[in-house]
Structure 1
Amino acid sequence: MSDSFHSAPAVGTTALPATVYLIAIGAFALGMASYVTAGLMPMIAGAFSVSLAMAAQLVTAFTLAYGLGSPLAVALLPARAQRSGLLIALGVFVLANGASALASGFSGLLAWRAIAGIGAGVYLALGIAAAACVSAPQQRGKAIGVIMGGMAGGTVLGVPLSLLLAQQLGWTAALWLVTLLGGLALAGLLWQLPALPAAPAISLRRKLALLADGQVLAILLVSLLAAIASLGMYTFIAPLLAWSANGMAMSATPFLWAWGVGGIVGSVLVGPWADKVAAPKLTCIILLLLALALCALPLAAGWSAWLMLAPIALWGAAGWALQVPQNQRLLAVRARQGDGNLAIALNESALYLGSAIGAAMGGLLLLLNWPMWLLAAGAALVATAALLLQWPAARRT
């Protein structure tokens, strides 16, 4: 099929198109690929006779390529290549994961993880835009929620499954599972994905001019602050547990599951609300819930570590749900210019940058021997700052 205009489903449509769920399967594979390498590091370090510190650079290569390389790739995408661009990005992601499993040297593996990161970032940005395009106007929030739910599911369900597989069959089995799921999504999309509207033919310089759009910058800054608070604090769940248990050993697994399951539920449930409530207002509500959940963490930890399960689940739900109205609003703000997919790619970059900043800031506070409760309180303050930044836009709506 050509990349010509394809009309959205009729307004009376109730079920989401099958295309949305196929894109979500690809997002599931993406969620696995984004986080599974961290769990595979000891096995990979042993297989290639490198240090754990060197093996950790596989995660760095993937995330840097995802966060920095994918916006540039989206910006360079030809105007009439929206459909083929999505398919090629998923194909690159699938190929890079298969090649990673076959890599004979560590340097080659490092290069393929970077290529996989670029493919993943481009695919998610174009996939969200495509899901909104093929869905009825009153279902676009729900469609984006399904995509984000797929990615959350890949993180929560796919990563443990792939690590279990790796323990039985070796570390390459995890990457082959990612390749298989990505390949299934690619085959389905080659069959089901309709032609997509061509983006306006504008120069790279004009595309990058969206960085001068005050609304876009405000949305990206809110995402950055939310990621500093949510994803940054996620890095320190284990130390928070140790503080709550007075140094006694506790497994972080139930708490990580609570965060992840909350993320899946939040991503799916927020979709219908995103189609009923104005995006700036919904973002404010979610940020308020995120700030309250982070505030409740040290309070619950002071009583019992197990009491933290509830705020951790709410924190995961709010953190993942937030990107549904954020991406929906970016598409709306840049609809006239036709570069919403680039705005979404930049939003993903903001999330990765925020995660890195949050982890670095938290690590610095721990080096300064600040108490753990202050770390959670600081994350809540950052989420509150995002809420205050978002408040004027919500009042104008």
Structure 2
Amino acid sequence: MQRVLLLAIGMFALGFDAYVVAGLLPDIGATFKINASQAGQAVSVFTFCYALAAPVFATLLAGKPMRRILLLALAVFSVGNGMSALASSFSMLLVARAIAGVGAGLFSPLAAAAAASLVSEQKRGRALGMTLGGMSTGTVVGVPLGLIVAEHLGWEGTLWSITALGLLALVGIVIWFPNFPASAPPSLRQRVAMMTNGRVSATVGITLLTSISSLGLYTYIASVLYHLADIDYTTPFLWAWGIGGMIGSFSIGTLIDRTGRPSLLMAGILAIMAFSMFILPLGLPFPVLAYLPFVIWGAMGWASQAPQQHVLLRLQPDHGAAAVALNSSANYLGSAIGSALGGIAMLAGLAPSRLPFAAGCVAMVAFLAQLVVMSREKIKENQGKIKMES
């Protein structure tokens, strides 16, 4: 598990970068004289390129030494963040965020696949949980600290700190990570079969909906809080969301290993996440209860990834990296879609205070889809038992 920790450190930098920008949107908007919905596209372009990078580069670089690919990914990620800090226009910032997204999209799924391969199958859930936990820790620790840095050094200073973290992770991989043999790349025919596999496509589709709901809403958390309760200091709520994320990502692996039922866990996660979004506006007037929906939402959002990855690794045991890359792509494509739809909805006149309800409805659709998948699996199991008995 010590080697998995190295991957978690790299994921820490990714988590910091992926989520701190949402808190920096007001400052970015002020710098480039744009509104919140326009500034939100800095999140969309990062996540969209993340989504594209995962499957494309998993194909182009499959079979190459994993250590070398992880180093390349961190180098691209760091360059993108350095360019973001130096951007002199919003267009340049979008290009730089795209480059950073490509590096993140290359690193994240390979890190998850490597973590699962470095341990026994009995410890796979915990390894995935630790890897994702690195990203959630980057959120809970990095995002609030990044906002504090921004108060003193501007949003550019925060992006410089992310650049430094990416380079630090790169050095750690160079020194301590072993030369890890990569699995043979799946053929084009195998990739098409993977995409057309009903269970795989259903799993990935539910991941997409989950991300549209959770990460799409997170992008506009500052606008939501301001319009719901005139709250203009978002750091405590980001702390609450991030702490929930740490709890969810670090505990879900153990639950998967103990229960052996990732699909059932995923259904529970989606139901609870939808509930937390629906009650979010109700708790804001009360000092203590205001943070509870954010903790629950963060915990469920972060916990949702490991069960899906576990299912895909079981369905595609020979091509785990490609399967995880596909799920990672869906996760960040959902974030990009959610961010874009949120911005479009607000430009069309939807009040930001209505976004939690809209996100909760999307989470409920994902929950219902998960129930359909589980019922079909149960039917297939029963049919198999009948055939064996006959």
Cα deviation, residue 123, structure 1: 0.0
Q: Is 2:44 aligned against 1:64?
A: no
Cα deviation, residue 293, structure 1: 3.1
Structure 1 residues 295 and 276 mapped into 2: Cα distance closer, same or farther (>3 Å)? same
Cα deviation, residue 350, structure 1: 1.8
Name 1:98's counterpart in structure 2. Answer: 82
Structure 1 residues 87 and 209 mapped into 2: Cα distance closer, same or farther (>3 Å)? farther
Q: Can you list the C-alpha shifts for 1:71-126, whole angstroms capped at 9, x where unaligned?
A: 21112113243332222112221233234435566655443321211110110010
Alignment of 1:223-238 (within 5 A): 223-235=207-219, 237=221
Q: Secondary structure at the match of 1:181?
A: helix
Name 2:388's counterpart in structure 1. Answer: none
Structure 1 residues 134 and 393 mapped into 2: Cα distance closer, same or farther (>3 Å)? farther
Name 1:343's counterpart in structure 2. Answer: 323
Cα deviation, residue 65, structure 1: 1.1
Cα contact 1:230–1:379 (8 A) shared by 2: no
Name 1:214's counterpart in structure 2. Answer: 198
Name 1:164's counterpart in structure 2. Answer: 148
Structure 1 residues 69 and 293 mapped into 2: Cα distance closer, same or farther (>3 Å)? same
Structure 1 residues 189 and 286 mapped into 2: Cα distance closer, same or farther (>3 Å)? same
Distance in 2 of aligned mates of 1:369 and 1:167: 28
Q: Is 2:88 aligned against 1:88?
A: no
Moved more, 211-220 or 377-386: 377-386
Percent identity reads 43
Name 1:353's counterpart in structure 2. Answer: 333
Q: Is 2:258 aligned against 1:276?
A: yes
2:105 corresponds to which of 99, 106, 121? 121
Alignment of 1:1-397 (within 5 A): 16=1, 18-41=2-25, 51=34, 56-102=40-86, 108-204=92-188, 206-235=190-219, 237=221, 245=229, 249=231, 251-278=233-260, 279-297=262-280, 300-301=282-283, 304=286, 306-336=288-318, 338=319, 340-359=320-339, 360=341, 364=345, 367=349, 372=354, 374-375=357-358, 378-379=361-362, 381-392=364-375, 395=378
Identify, as 1 or 2, the structure richer in helix: 2
- What's the TM-score once normalised by structure 1's chain length? 0.81
Distance in 2 of aligned mates of 1:110 and 1:243: 27
Structure 1 residues 243 and 178 mapped into 2: Cα distance closer, same or farther (>3 Å)? closer
Cα deviation, residue 145, structure 1: 0.9
Moved more, 88-97 or 249-258: 249-258
Q: Residue type matched to 1:352 in 2?
A: Y
Q: Residue type matched to 2:276 in 1?
A: A
Structure 1: gaps spanning 5 or more residues: 1-15
Distance in 1 of aligned mates of 2:369 and 2:50: 24
Distance in 1 of aligned mates of 2:90 and 2:279: 43
Structure 2: gaps spanning 5 or more residues: 382-390
Distance in 2 of aligned mates of 1:132 and 1:266: 18
